[in-house]
Amino acid sequence: MNREDRRNRVLVKEIGEFGLIDRIAAMLSHHCPGVIKGIGDDVAVLDTSGPEYLLATCDSQVEGVHFMRDAITPYQLGRRVAAINVSDIAASGGDPRWALVSLAIPGEMEVGYIEELYRGLGDEMALAGASIAGGNLSRMKSVIVLDCTLLGVVAPERLVLRSTARVGDAVVLTGSPGESRAGLELIRRPDLALSASTRQRLIESHLCPRPRLAEGRLLARSGLVTAMIDVSDGVIGDLLHICKASGTGADVDSGGVSISRELGEAALAAGADCLEWALSGGEDYELIFTAPPEAVASLKQMLLDQTGTTCSQIGTITAGTGVDIRFAEGTRKVSAVKGFDHFGESKG
């Protein structure tokens, strides 16, 4: 087998999601008219010659991979896929507008289930100021594959990318990450001893994430934020995306990460490390943004006043590579995105 053959016969799971994206992006890297940002970002930024840039993003929910049918209602599933897409637009500083929903389902499903799914999609889109404008229906053998494309708009001067962090910038995180990971654990292990309210909150965080749309919009409009991303692959994973795209490194002080009481209780009950869940759990849909250190206090105050959302500085952008995380017991360097590897582990 020659080198080219070996390269082609590598399995997807060996190079993972991000390795595969890198190879596809390299293959299709030629300049394309009207494409401001293309493959490799969560959101494509397109120039339609209108007053605003068009944003386009898509995300899927595959039964047995991203969800188990008996652990989520169809209404929640619809809201979930909508929220995940809204979160990507939020992290660009944009406004969601129109969604296309592509659904592959077994013919044996009840129509009421599908209607509930669309009701959830429609409600979450309406919350974000968007509507369902079209889509596609296909038959599928036994599982549900739900794919949502969301279009949004952003004024060119308000667009925030992941690739524009600057050395010396503060790294700031909204909310308390890790609750989605804890919720997933509680779905998997219903026997864990926890109060009903804690259990419910954490499972809700996993099933129905709340995208930080108002926060993203305010941050983008402040003109002070240099880069932004939403937390889908985990705090460290998504910070690594910022670093890789910006050509920087980052130092993170794990002590700066906000840990909610509920997360602490769940991790204790599960015998897990709450900081591990908070830093690499993923699917929190919080925002990570970078900004000059002197702007952080006013940005935090602005978010608190206008949305009630707290945020914490968790680190600094550096001239290095990768993310250095300071723990009480020492420093750990992370160079490659771990987070949730879509080709590694099963969920639900």
Residue 138 Cβ, how far from its own copies at the closest point, in Å?
Answer: 5
Binding mask 122-141 for its own copies (x = CB under 8 A): x--------xxxxxxxxxxx
Residue 79 Cβ, how far from its own copies at the closest point, in Å?
Answer: 15
Q: Which residue has the tokens 């909150």?
A: 201
173 forms bridges with which residues in the sheet? 288, 312
Tokens of 178: 């890790």
* Residue 182 near residue 263 (C-beta atoms within 8 A): yes
Vertex 272, ends 175 and 325: CA angle to 5°? 60
Report CA-CA distances (Å) from 139 to 76, 107, 115.
Answer: 22, 6, 16
Tokens of 64: 């047995």
Stated as kind and residue range, the H or E segment containing 339 is: none
- By CB under 8 A, the residues from 139 to 168 that bind its own copies are 139-141, 143, 145, 147, 149, 151, 153
> Residue from 70, 112, 197, 328 that binds its own copies (CB under 8 A)?
112
204 binds its own copies (CB under 8 A): no
Residue 24 Cβ, how far from its own copies at the closest point, in Å?
Answer: 5
Stretch that binds its own copies, among 114-122, 162-170, 290-298, 303-311 (CB under 8 A): 114-122
> Residue from 72, 81, 90, 104 that binds its own copies (CB under 8 A)?
104
Residue type, 314: I
Stretch that binds its own copies, among 29-37, 197-205, 278-286, 327-335 (CB under 8 A): 29-37
175 binds its own copies (CB under 8 A): no
Residue type, 312: S
Stretch that binds its own copies, among 60-68, 203-211, 268-276, 285-293 (CB under 8 A): 60-68
CA dihedral 88, 90, 92, 95 (to 10 degrees): 110
58 binds its own copies (CB under 8 A): yes
Residue type, 105: I
Burial profile 4-26: b = 16 or more Cβ within 10 angstroms, e = fewer: eeeeeeeeeeeebbbbbeeeeee
- Looking at the Cβ atoms of 142 and 197, the one nearer to its own copies is 142
Which residue in 166, 332, 338 sits closest to 249, CA to CA?
Answer: 166
Q: Which residue has the tokens 């209607």?
A: 115
> Residue from 56, 127, 214, 224 that binds its own copies (CB under 8 A)?
56
336 binds its own copies (CB under 8 A): no
- Looking at the Cβ atoms of 21 and 268, the one nearer to its own copies is 21
90 binds its own copies (CB under 8 A): no
Residue 216 Cβ, how far from its own copies at the closest point, in Å?
Answer: 18
326 binds its own copies (CB under 8 A): no
303 binds its own copies (CB under 8 A): no
